[in-house]
Amino acid sequence: MAQKQAARFDLLLPEEAGFLEGDENEDTCTISQQDIADAVDITSGTKYFDLNLSQFGPYQLDYSKTGRHLLLGGRRGHVACVDWQSKQLMCEINVMESIRDVRWLHTETMFAVAQKKWLFIYDSNGIELHCIRKFNDVLRMQFLPYHFLLATASMTGFLQYLDVSVGKEVAAICTKKGRLDVMCQNPSNAVIHLGHSNGTVTLWSPSQKEPLVKMLCHHGGVRSVAVDKTGTYMVTSGMDKKLKVFDVRTFQNLNSYFLPAGASCLSLSQRGLLAAATGDVVQVYRDVWSSPVRKPYMAHRAQAAACELRFCPFEDVLGIGHGQGFTSILVPGAGEPNFDGLDSNPYRSAKQRQEWEVKALLEKIQPELISLDPTQLGKVDLGTFQQKHQDRVQALGFDPLAKEKFVPRHKKKGRSSAGNVDRRKRQVANIDQRLKFLTVAGNGTKKEVKQQPQLHLLCDACFLVLVKYYTYTHTHCWCKQRTLTRDKVF
């Protein structure tokens, strides 16, 4: 019922995704950004812009969760946070140290900067709030929004988790894999993916000291990893100039592509567009996992070598951080058109933001619940359950859940007479035959036996699916709230 309702309400969604289609003989990857900017409306056209910041080195960037605010961090210490749509500068400082990575925290009021030695947290006005010395030599950072955890990967091989709501270090894991350069998160289950120089990608959770999964992905080192929003696909690029697409849930390699020069950065958008950067060329591919891709969807040459790529959350915009500053290009069809107003609303006011922050803090998830399967909490703990059952059986001397052995009552006449018993036995034997799919006849040929239909009936109240073999008109659900008839077939 809930699914039906959701499907119905999909029609009421206000926005639609964008797209780019070329003319008959035109290739979409040859269309330049200027042409696109000229073709769209003014507001969208202003979303294509360049920031020339050649003084302070290659720029790292981060978009906030709502997609409204942009944080720029130059290698030589320049930090700026700006509302990029209205071009309003929120703050601009120079921290006088080399910067390795910048990241927004849960709102646009605070951000974290991984500086040369330690981790610093600043206010959106540029005021230094905290200097966290425990987090030293941080190379990469990822923020897990629903857990309020800042995961940092350091030069010394340590993966540390910081709870930004409480201000405590939740876990410090010594990965023993050397310098942790490549990091990304799986948004659906908050598992951190790290890429290593021996071609492996490891998956980490703060509750375990060993990696949850270790996958061998590339012949050489792994250069970049990206996981899509639903947590189904992972795209990796390596030193062997290959780009591989994996299914994260079954760990199978779906597709493998060869790029002439390899990809140094990867980014996946909300609608499944992949952006890959090689040197100063940025290519965008559409739908890398379902069908093999021959050529890019779009391409763009930046002013200098690109070192960071980010898709803006609810906009069709890709941000490129390069050696000469920052460029924002238009990629039609990249962003999710309909946002969830209660989760991340790009048009929220300050008051709404405060209310949302409080509610989000109340719904904060504890770090020990992070695991590969996010629905594991709803499952019965089978290990303990079986152990308890065994203990109970031992204590009682018999198994209370086991069905009692059927002891037939032998009577001379009446229901259990010889004839009736025989008839009943024949019935049971026939049921077994009916359930078989194939039987082998005496002379070796296979013949199909007609199978009685299985009915799957869904009860609305308790969501129990009953499987029935016999045909009849109606039955009651065990919860006694529904009468299940033929029309409740699932």
Partner 1 sequence: MWPLRNLLEVKIRRAELQKARALQTYYEAKARRERKIKSKKYHRVLNKAKRKEFLKRFEEMVKNDPAAALEEINKMELARMQERMSLKHQNSGKWAKSKAIMAKYDESARKAMQQQLEVNKDLTQKLSIALNDDNEETETPENLPDFVNEAPLGTDSNPWMKGKLSEEPAETKGETHNLNLTAELTETAANVEEEESDVEETEEESLQMSEVCAKAAPVEESADASLQLVEGQTDQMQPLEFMELLNQVESVQPDQTPVEPRPSSDQAQKKQPKGITLKDTLTKDANPILVPLAPTAVAAEDSDETLTQTGLIQEAFAGDDVISEFMKDKKNQEDADKPSVVDMTLPGWGEWGGAGLKPSRSKRRRFRVKTAPPPPRKDEKLPGVILSEKRNSSLSLHQVNTLPFPFTSHTQFESTLRSPLGRTWNTERAVKKLTKPKVITQLGTIIEPMTREELMKDKKTINLLTITPHSKHLNKKKKSQVF
- Range 239-278, binding partner 1 (CB under 8 A): 239-240, 242-243, 251-253, 255-261, 278
Give least dist CB 295 to partner 1, A: 5
Window 364-393: residues binding partner 1 (CB under 8 A)? 368-369, 371, 375-385, 388
Give least dist CB 454 to partner 1, A: 16
CA distance linking residue 72 with residue 338, whole number of Å: 26
The residue range among 55-63, 71-79, 238-246, 440-448 that interacts with partner 1, by the rule CB under 8 A, is 238-246
Among 40, 91, 155, 281, binds partner 1 (CB under 8 A): 281
Degrees, nearest 5: CA angle 323-281-83: 55
- Tell whether residue 72 is a contact of partner 1 (CB under 8 A): no
Length in residues, the chain: 490
For partner 1, give the closer residue by CB, 82 or 266.
266
CA distance linking residue 293 with residue 287, whole number of Å: 8
Taking the CA atoms of residue 324, residue 325, residue 331 and residue 336 in that order, the dihedral angle to the nearest 10 degrees is 150
Cβ atoms 325, 303 nearer than 8 A: yes
329-352 core/surface letters (b: 16 or more CB in 10 A; e: else): bbbbbbbbbebeeeebbbebeeee
DSSP state of 288: T
Cα-to-chain-centroid distance, residue 139: 22
CA distance linking residue 261 with residue 323, whole number of Å: 19
Taking the CA atoms of residue 6, residue 8, residue 12 and residue 17 in that order, the dihedral angle to the nearest 10 degrees is 70
Window 174-233: residues binding partner 1 (CB under 8 A)? 198-200, 205, 207-208, 210-221
How many residues bind partner 1 (CB under 8 A)? The answer is 79
CA distance linking residue 23 with residue 436, whole number of Å: 58
The residue range among 53-61, 110-118, 175-183, 279-287 that interacts with partner 1, by the rule CB under 8 A, is 279-287
- Tell whether residue 360 is a contact of partner 1 (CB under 8 A): no
For partner 1, give the closer residue by CB, 140 or 218.
218
CA distance linking residue 100 with residue 98, whole number of Å: 7
Cβ atoms 265, 291 nearer than 8 A: no
Give least dist CB 113 to partner 1, A: 28
- Tell whether residue 425 is a contact of partner 1 (CB under 8 A): no
The residue range among 113-121, 299-307, 309-317, 404-412 that interacts with partner 1, by the rule CB under 8 A, is 299-307
CA distance linking residue 256 with residue 7, whole number of Å: 34
Window 458-487: residues binding partner 1 (CB under 8 A)? 462-465, 478-479
- Tell whether residue 394 is a contact of partner 1 (CB under 8 A): no
Amino acid letter for position 76: R
Q: CB-based contacts of 158: which residues, under 8 Å, 6+ apart? A: 172, 173, 174, 175, 180
Give least dist CB 263 to partner 1, A: 10
Lay out the site mask for partner 1 across 400-419 (x = CB under 8 A, - = otherwise): -x------------------
Give least dist CB 323 to partner 1, A: 11
Q: CB-based contacts of 283: which residues, under 8 Å, 6+ apart? A: 29, 275, 276, 277, 296, 298, 299
Give least dist CB 150 to partner 1, A: 20
DSSP for 53-107, please give it. Answer: --SS-SEEEEE-TTS-EEEEEETTSEEEEEETTTTEEEEEEE-SS-EEEEEE-SS
Give least dist CB 426 to partner 1, A: 30
Window 324-343: residues binding partner 1 (CB under 8 A)? 342-343
For partner 1, give the closer residue by CB, 69 or 488.
488
For partner 1, give the closer residue by CB, 392 or 434.
392
CA distance linking residue 226 with residue 355, whole number of Å: 32
DSSP state of 135: S
Give least dist CB 93 to partner 1, A: 31
Give least dist CB 384 to partner 1, A: 4
- Tell whether residue 440 is a contact of partner 1 (CB under 8 A): no
Q: CB-based contacts of 198: which residues, under 8 Å, 6+ apart? A: 177, 221
Window 1-40: residues binding partner 1 (CB under 8 A)? 1-2, 5-6, 8-9, 27, 29-30
- Tell whether residue 160 is a contact of partner 1 (CB under 8 A): no
For partner 1, give the closer residue by CB, 84 or 246.
246
For partner 1, give the closer residue by CB, 128 or 373.
373
Among 145, 157, 279, 346, binds partner 1 (CB under 8 A): 279
Give least dist CB 5 to partner 1, A: 4
CA distance linking residue 307 with residue 315, whole number of Å: 21
For partner 1, give the closer residue by CB, 166 or 465.
465
CA distance linking residue 326 with residue 84, whole number of Å: 11
